[in-house]
Chains A and B, each alone.
Chain A
Amino acid sequence: MARIEFQDKSAVVIIGSGAGGGTLAHELTRRGIKVVVLEAGKRQSTANFSQIPGEAFLQLTWLDARTQSGNWGVAKNFPTLPAWHCKTVGGTTVHWTGATPRLEPWELRAKSTYGKIRGTSLIDWPISYEELKTYYLLAERRLGVTRRNDMPGLPASNNFKVMYAGAKKLGYKRVHTGHLAINSRAHDGRGMCIQQGFCVQGCKMGAKWSTLYTDIPRAEATGNLDLRIECMATRIEHGTEGRVNSVVYRDGQGREQKQKARIVCIAGNGIETPRLLLLSDSSKFPQGLANSSGQVGRNYCHQIIGFVWGIFDKPVYSWRGATLAGVIEDEVRNDPSRGFVGGYRMELVTLDLPTLPLVGLPYGWGRDFASVIENYRNMAGMIINGEDMPRAENRITLNRDIKDTFGLPVANVHVDEHPNDQAMRNHAQTQMSRMYEAIGAKRVVVGPTPPATHNTCSARMSADPREGVTNAWGQTHDIKNLFISDGSAMTTAGAANPTLTIVALALRQAEYISREMKARKI
């Protein structure tokens, strides 16, 4: 591993080591570019992932203080935890469930497809599907996605058999065990899925792709990566000419450090990325960095997520097997006759016993609440993953009343659901309930919206610099050597789980950055 001097102005500094930052770090270092990665979390390994759900949660989750506002259910049910993502080397690729669908061509043309919808800030992506597809193909090979190339699908689990039977009763056709970055056979130096059901706690087989044990060690092996763990970026600084030139951070001992940089790429997940831009305000950029448009932190999307549980009179043992290995894709279409625009997936889901009452069930206590858990053996589960509408006022801001351990304002997450979001959730939960009832469920429980994992669009790419933060390469409109390299740069959320898109965009961005560096344009 490289040791890059604090005063070295030639390095690219990447903030975050997840799907975006980890992929970008590997792609740049293998092209001979020196990279410093600042990762706020610690480094875990497949050997030390805790398999006690409560412990694993504390081991991996980003738990820094945040506040919330708005009418969404998360603010009421999980007031201290708006989002469930990771603070660890590998970022949220340690905890994700591996779902890797692509966005649809029409989803990239969101505004053109859906038309003008009141109360939204919809725009089209500045990239065509054909352009993005090139990188989807690369990403799918890289991650070993099932049902793509020569990687078979995962075998059907008990939980999926229930979903499949229900889906077929309702006439759904595009139902299968999913596109997942989970090895159905050993591949790329990683093991095969042995159906542990502990995807969220970190896959001890390494069967599920994570930058923790792919891109990060490979980037280290190039000799060009300086990975600094437990280092929390607090501010990005710029010179008089308006280019960024260094990143200020706190190291593991709480000491302030400063790393010079030729280029800075932010990949801190959809809440911390805009927070860092806002924290980096200056007399030249009084609204925060890259925020002349006022769009930093706005248009925050989190996708429509919600559980439905079916209780049967026979056992399902849903916890046995890969957490999300099943999908129904028939509702991924734009059909306003359903009462909303945009599409949604229905995905298989299960929760371990300790997590179910905390995250998966509606707020409650008493006989009725307990009676659901009494049926844990006989429960099957599904979750919606649908497109939410971007809104200018759904945004990440700084809450100056509450400070983190370094004395900096924490992020406030404000979400007011759009009527389209609510109509979509109702439609999806009705369909899932009908599926379970069609095959004899004795009870269906509609669960809450859990804390968001798919935090996107809060520093979105746009063709028009007034409507977003970056251009089509994630390069900020205002500052040429400042890039957004995570889901924050997505223009709209679509109905696809975001990781594959984040990786595809990072691969594309890496090509662009190295080309522009060679041409001495940045």
Chain B
Amino acid sequence: MDQLVTLNRRELLKTTSGLLTGCIVAGSPLALIAPGREWAVDLTALTSSEGAALVSMARTIAPHDKLDDAAYALVIQAVDGDAGKDANTRKLVKEGLAALGADFAGSPESERVEALKKIESSAFFQTMRLKTLQVLYSNSIAYAYFGYEGEAFSKGGYLFRGFNDLRWLPEVPAEDSGPLPTGA
């Protein structure tokens, strides 16, 4: 749940340049694990409107309608972090967003897809695509949404937690399988 803690620990830095905020939908998988309903991410290199445009871009690259904005905000937080550390990345992102235009974030998905297809081979798009895939699926919000249970060593593996609980197909004969340890 590290990322959720990060989301809610606003560091009021003097350099804060923008802000992303959201409210977790009650009853969503995220609501069960989140420490609070409201979240906020400070941006240090990008403006609030640039942040919002990037959320829209990440949602176009990897559209999971019911996945909370908080997961996408983590992607933007990572991009913002890279942009803060590296002037080239900052330039790449700011210029890339400027080229997409101010209307991008508010336009319908079909238009956003068309706009991104036109820049598919650009360094800006490639960077955003990779970052989206790297961050969006590797946090506890995504784990909860996609049902992924993750690390298992601390819980004794999946041996006693459903590694063989599939019942909609026949069982494998003993000679092609192996003995279960007692209790599994």
Instruction: List residues of chain A with CB under 8 Å of any chain B CB.
Output: 51-54, 146, 152-158, 160-162, 164-165, 175-177, 184-185, 192-198, 204-205, 314-317, 319-321, 352-354, 356-358, 365-367, 369-370, 373-374, 376-377, 439
Contact = CB atoms under 8 A, between A and B. Distances in A.
A350 to B, nearest CB: 11
A358 B62 CA distance: 13
8 contacts: A53-B138, A161-B169, A162-B169, A164-B169, A197-B152, A197-B163, A317-B163, A373-B62
Contact of A195 (B147, B157, B177): B157
Interface in B125-184: 129, 132-134, 137-138, 142-143, 146-153, 156-159, 161-166, 168-172, 175-181, 184
A359 B181 CA distance: 33
Nearest to A176: B176
B37 interface: no
A157 B163 contact: yes
A81 to B, nearest CB: 12
Q: Report the interface size class on chain B.
A: 35 or more
Nearest to A368: B63
Given A192-B181, A196-B153, A161 B137 contact: no
B148 A352 contact: yes
A192 to B, nearest CB: 7
Nearest to A167: B176
Contacts of B180: 155
A367 B63 contact: yes
B63 A370 contact: yes
Interface string B44-66: 00000000000000001111100
Contacts of B33: none
Contact of B137 (A197, A319, A373): A373
B99 interface: no
B37 to A, nearest CB: 25
B153 A370 contact: no
Interface centre among B142, B148, B165, B166 (most CB of A within 10 A): B166
Given A196-B158, A366-B63, A353 B148 contact: yes
A369 B62 contact: yes
A376 B148 CA distance: 8
Given A315-B147, A320-B163, 15 more contacts: A146-B178, A160-B177, A184-B178, A193-B157, A194-B152, A194-B156, A195-B152, A196-B153, A315-B166, A317-B162, A321-B164, A354-B134, A354-B137, A366-B60, A366-B113
B148 A164 contact: no
Contacts of B171: 156, 161
Contact of A365 (B61, B152, B164, B184): B61
A165 B170 contact: yes
B147 A377 contact: yes
A373 B146 contact: yes
Given A320-B162, A366-B113, A161 B148 contact: no
Contacts of A164: 169, 172, 176
A198 B152 contact: yes
Contacts of B143: 353
Nearest to A319: B148
A320 B176 contact: no
A316 B62 contact: no
A168 B38 CA distance: 51
A54 B64 CA distance: 21
A148 to B, nearest CB: 13
A365 to B, nearest CB: 4
Contacts of B132: 365
Contacts of A160: 172, 177
Contacts of A354: 134, 137-138
Interface centre among B142, B147, B159, B177 (most CB of A within 10 A): B177
B104 to A, nearest CB: 15
A284 to B, nearest CB: 45
Contacts of A315: 147, 166
B137 A194 contact: no
A162 B116 CA distance: 38
A195 B158 contact: yes
B101 to A, nearest CB: 20
Closest 6 CB pairs of A and B: A194-B157, A153-B178, A354-B138, A320-B158, A51-B151, A158-B166
B40 to A, nearest CB: 24
A156 B143 CA distance: 25
Contact of B147 (A158, A194, A376): A376
A152 to B, nearest CB: 5
Contacts of B184: 155
